[in-house]
Homo-oligomer: A and B are copies of this chain.
Amino acid sequence: MADLLIVDDDRELCALLQRYLEGEQFAVTVTHDGEAALQQMRRHAPDLVLLDVMMPGMDGFETLRRIRQSGDVPVLMLTARGEDIDRIVGLELGADDYLPKPFNHRELLARIRAILRRGGAGSEESPVLEAGGIRLQPGAQQVTQHGQVVELTNTEFELLRELLVHAGQLVSRDALSRVALGRRLQPHDRALDMHMSNLRRKLGPDAAGNPVIRTVRGRGFLLEKV
C-alpha cells in the first residue's frame, strides 16, 4: 500500500502513530526533524508526508517550503491550533490538508485516505465545495453565494467548510469546535454559537426564507443540501 513519512519531534507520538498506521497497512518511515525528512525523501519518495508544524530547528513551514521546491508530494500538516490554517492550506505554502492537534486517530486515517484518494499525484487544488447555492474554494479562501462574494473570517470559513464537506449530514457541535476553534467543546462555551450566529447572518436565509444551516438541538448543525 502507500508509503508515509512522519516528521515530528515528539518521539512518543511518532511511535504511536507509526504503530497505528502500520496496523492500517501503511509503510511508515519516521524522522524527527526537517533536515532528516528531506534527506529521507531524497532516498525514497513517500506517497504522503505527515508534517508537524512545531519543531525545533527547521519548523514545519520551512520544511514544507523546501519539500515543495523539489516535488509535489502530498503533505498533511499537524498543527497545534486552528490558527495559521490559511497559510498552511492556502496556495502560499501548498499543504494538502491539516489536522489540528489533538486529533483522534480515526480522523487522521480518514484524512490520509482522502488525500491519497483524490490525487495520487497530488498537486491538484483542493476540490471546490458546493451545496445549497454556496460555493467554497479552499485554495482561494473565498466563498460565494449565488455568485455574490461573502466575506468570512477564518473561523467562519472553517465552520462552513466542515459543514459543506458533510453537506446534508449532521455535524456535531464538538466536531465543529475542534475543527474551527481547535479545541474540544467545553460546557458553557458559547463561542461556537457566536460564530454560528455570525455565519448565518452573513449567509442569510435561503429562497424559501429558511436558514441555510439547520440546528439539531442537543446534537449539532447541518447544512441543507437543497
Complex contact B72–A91 (CB within 8 A): no
A-B contact pairs, 9 of them (CB 8 A): A12-B92, A13-B92, A72-B105, A85-B184, A91-B108, A140-B169, A153-B217, A154-B216, A154-B217
**Chain B residues whose C-beta falls within 8 Å of the C-beta of A94 in the assembled complex:** 16, 20, 105
Say yes or no for A170: interface residue by CB 8 A criterion. Answer: yes
Q: How far is the CA of A23 from the CA of B119 in the complex (A)?
A: 14
Interface string of A150-174 (1 = CB under 8 A from B): 0001100000000000001110000
Complex contact B118–A89 (CB within 8 A): no
Say yes or no for A141: interface residue by CB 8 A criterion. Answer: yes
Say yes or no for A46: interface residue by CB 8 A criterion. Answer: no
Say yes or no for A49: interface residue by CB 8 A criterion. Answer: no
**Chain B residues whose C-beta falls within 8 Å of the C-beta of A86 in the assembled complex:** 102, 183-184
Nearest 10 CB-CB pairings of A with B: A90-B102, A139-B169, A141-B170, A141-B216, A86-B102, A154-B218, A140-B168, A91-B105, A13-B92, A91-B103
User: From residue 191 to 226 of chain A, which have CB atoms closer than 8 A to chain B?
Assistant: 216-219, 222
Say yes or no for A106: interface residue by CB 8 A criterion. Answer: yes
Given pairs A91-B103, A154-B218, 4 additional interface contacts (CB within 8 A): A19-B68, A96-B106, A140-B222, A141-B222
Q: How far is the CA of A195 from the CA of B180 in the complex (A)?
A: 31
Min CB distance A185 to B, Å, is 11
Q: How far is the CA of A101 from the CA of B89 in the complex (A)?
A: 10
Say yes or no for A44: interface residue by CB 8 A criterion. Answer: no
Q: Which of B91, B125, B154 contacts A169 (CB 8 A)?
A: B125
Q: Which of B17, B102, B119 contacts A87 (CB 8 A)?
A: B102
